[in-house]
A and B are shown apart, each in its own frame.
Chain A
C-alpha cells in the first residue's frame, strides 16, 4: 500500500480569483460597471444620491420579477405570462376588496391564492402536456390579458379599478408593499428590501439546498435528471409558483403605490424580466445562471433607462439608445465570460 496518493484534482483548493471567474454573473458585473462609468461621465446628475435611489427603485421593480424568472430559466423554462400576471394580481386584490367591501388584507390574501393558482396552472399544464413552455405561457399570457380587461370591465364598469385608498387595511398594506423612507435627501423604497431579500433567498436555494441542485439538474437535462431520481414535475411546478409569488409581491406594490390599477398594464414587461436574467448570465437554454446575476441585470436596466433621461438626450431616440446600451452590456458580458472560461 502506498501512502503517497496524488491529490484528486477535483478536490484541490481553488483560488478566490478562479472561483470568481467561474461565476455566471461576472460578465454582468463588468457590464454594470461599464454602464455606470459611462453615465457618470455622460450625465452630470447621474451620481447624485437621489438619482441613485431612483435608479435602485426602477431596478428593484424589474429585479423582483427577474429573480424568479432567472431561477425558472436555469430550470430550462420561460414564462411569458409573468408581465400581465403582475397586473392580474393587483386587479384581484383591488376588485375583491372593493366589491366585497372587505378589509383590504382579505383581498390581498385572495390575490395570493389566485396568483399561486395561475403559477400552478402554468407548471401543471407544462408537465402534463409536454408542450414547450413558450406555447403554454403564451396561452396564459393571452388569456390573462383578456381576463384582466374582461373582468375589470364586467365588475368595475370601466377599464381601471376604483380607488380603495379610503378602505380599512389600506395604510397597513401600503406600509408593507409600498412604504418609503427619507434618508437625508434620498428616498428609499421598500421594494429595494423585497428585492434584496428575494435575491438572497433565491441564491441560498440555488447554492445551498437540494432543491437548488434539482433546478440545475432539470435545466441541464430533464431526462437525465429524472433518471437520477430528481422530482422533475415538482421542481418545475415549484419554479412557476415562485414566479407567481413574486408577481403577487410586484402586483401588491403597484396597487398600494398607485392606488388605481389600469387593466391594460404589464404587457411587454415579461421581456424585461427575461432580458435582465439573460444579461445576468442565465443561458437561454437552461442549466446555467444565478439569482445575483438577475439582480445585476435589473440594475443595468435601471441605470440605462434612467441614465438616458439624466443625460438629457433627444427623447425621440430613447428606445434606440436603450436597445443599443442593452446589447452592448450583453456583448461585453458574453466576451468577459468567454475570456474567463478560456483561463
Chain B
C-alpha cells in the first residue's frame, strides 16, 4: 500500500499538467479581501431556501448573500431543503433563535404562509427571494427579489421568434417543478412557432443526452432547443451534433461551459436571472432596513432578470462566471 501511495505521489509530481488546473486559476485570481465595510452591530440574518443538494444555481445565490454579509458585518446562517415542510421548520428555528432578519424563497408558498406570519409577528423583517413574487407582499414580506419565471420564459419566446425559429423543444430536467413549467409556458406564450416539452432525467447525464438525441431524430424539423439549466446546455449541444441536427441550443442560467459555448457560437443565447444578485440584494436590503429603514420596490417585486446573454457579452462575463459569482 505504501509503495502504491509513493508511486502515485511520485507520478503526480512528474505528471504535472502545464495547462489549466488550479495553478492557472490561482495565477489569474486577484487577491480579494472580505472585510466588513460598516460599523453597524453584528446582526444575524438567516437564509432558508428550497434548494436541493448540490444545486449550482443556489450555490451562486448563497455566494452573493455571503459576500454581502461579509461587507455588512452580518452573521450569516444558511439552511435549505427541497421539502417545503422541512423548509418551514428551518424558518421556525430561525425565529426561535431570534435572528435579526430572514430571507426565504417561496417555491411552495402555502406551506410557508403560517411560519412567515409568525416571523412578522415576532418583529423580524422578512425578504422573499427567487420564487413567490405573487405571495410576497400578501404574506407581509418587505420586498421580493427575483425573476418572475413566466416573464423569463416570455423573454426566451420573443428572442426565439426574433431569431426566426419555427419549432422549439423545451427540455425540463425535473418533472413536476412548478418554476420549470412556468418557464416553458412563458416561452410558449410569446414564441411565434410551435413549442413542445421534453422531460429528461436530470440526475443522469447520459440519459439526458440520449433523450434529446431521440427527440431530434424523431422530429428533424426542430430548429431550437431550450434547456432550463446551464449544465444541460453543453449536453444538448452534444446531442444535437450526434443527431446531425442544425437546431440552435439556448439555455436558462450561466456556467463556465455555457460561457465558452456562447463565445464559440455553439450556443445561441442564455437567459440569466443573476442569482448572485438575488442573494446579495436580499442581505443588503435587510441591512438597509435595519440601518436606515429603507424598503425597495414599494410592495412590487424587484426583478433581477431576465437578462439575455449572447456571444458579445459572454467574453466579458467569463471571468466572473469562473469565480462563481455569475
Contacts and interface: CB of A to CB of B under 8 A. Distances in A.
Contact of B205 (A168, A254, A268): A254
A169 B17 contact: yes
Contacts of A54: 210, 213-214, 217, 242-243
B6 interface: no
Given A45-B218, A54-B243, A149-B54, A269 B25 contact: no
Contacts of B234: 258-260
A172 interface: no
Contacts of A229: none
Interface in B192-239: 196-199, 203-207, 209-211, 213-215, 217-219, 231, 234-235, 238
A134 interface: no
Given A51-B217, A166-B19, A253-B206, 12 more contacts: A54-B217, A58-B210, A100-B21, A105-B15, A110-B8, A149-B53, A152-B54, A165-B20, A257-B205, A258-B205, A309-B214, A310-B214
A-B pairs, 3 with minimum CB distance: A264-B54, A101-B21, A58-B210
Interface of B: 4, 8, 11-12, 15-25, 52-56, 59-60, 63, 175, 196-199, 203-207, 209-211, 213-215, 217-219, 231, 234-235, 238, 242-244, 255-257, 260, 324
Given A61-B207, A254-B206, A269-B203, A103 B15 contact: yes
Contacts of A160: 54, 56, 231, 255
A272 B68 CA distance: 43
A191 B205 CA distance: 14
A317 B205 CA distance: 21
A146 to B, nearest CB: 9
Interface in A157-205: 157-160, 162-169, 180, 185, 187, 191
9 contacts: A98-B21, A99-B21, A103-B17, A159-B59, A163-B257, A166-B20, A167-B20, A266-B204, A267-B203
Interface in A214-248: none
Interface of A: 43-45, 48, 50-51, 54-55, 57-58, 61, 96-106, 109-110, 113, 145, 148-149, 152-153, 157-160, 162-169, 180, 185, 187, 191, 253-254, 257-260, 262-269, 272, 302, 305-306, 309-312, 315-316, 318-319
B214 A162 contact: no
B86 to A, nearest CB: 17
A106 B15 contact: yes
Given A258-B234, A309-B214, A106 B19 contact: no
Contacts of A104: 17
Contact of A302 (B17, B210, B231, B242): B210
B232 to A, nearest CB: 10
Contacts of B210: 54-55, 57-58, 61, 302, 305-306
A322 to B, nearest CB: 10
* Residue of B11, B205, B211, B244 ringed by the most chain A CB atoms within 10 A: B205
B17 A168 contact: yes
Contact of A312 (B21, B52, B205, B219): B219
A309 B17 contact: no
B54 A148 contact: yes
Contacts of B218: 43-45, 51, 309-312
A187 B241 CA distance: 10
A101 B23 CA distance: 6
Contacts of B52: 264
A264 B8 contact: no
B146 to A, nearest CB: 20
B207 A102 contact: no
A276 B242 CA distance: 25
Nearest to B198: A315
A305 B21 contact: no
A300 B242 CA distance: 22
A309 B324 contact: no
Contacts of B19: 166-168
Contacts of B17: 97, 101-104, 167-169
Contacts of A302: 210
B283 to A, nearest CB: 19
Nearest to B51: A159
Contact of A305 (B12, B18, B25, B207): B207
Contact of A258 (B56, B235, B244): B235
A263 B243 contact: no
Contacts of A260: 231, 234, 255-257
A149 B55 CA distance: 10
Contacts of A262: 54, 56, 205, 231
Given A258-B205, A264-B55, A266-B204, A101 B199 contact: no
B16 A103 contact: yes
A277 B228 CA distance: 33
Given A54-B242, A58-B206, A312-B219, A100 B22 contact: yes
Nearest to B8: A110
A58 B242 CA distance: 13
Given A145-B53, A263-B54, A318 B199 contact: yes
A311 B219 CA distance: 10
B175 A264 contact: no
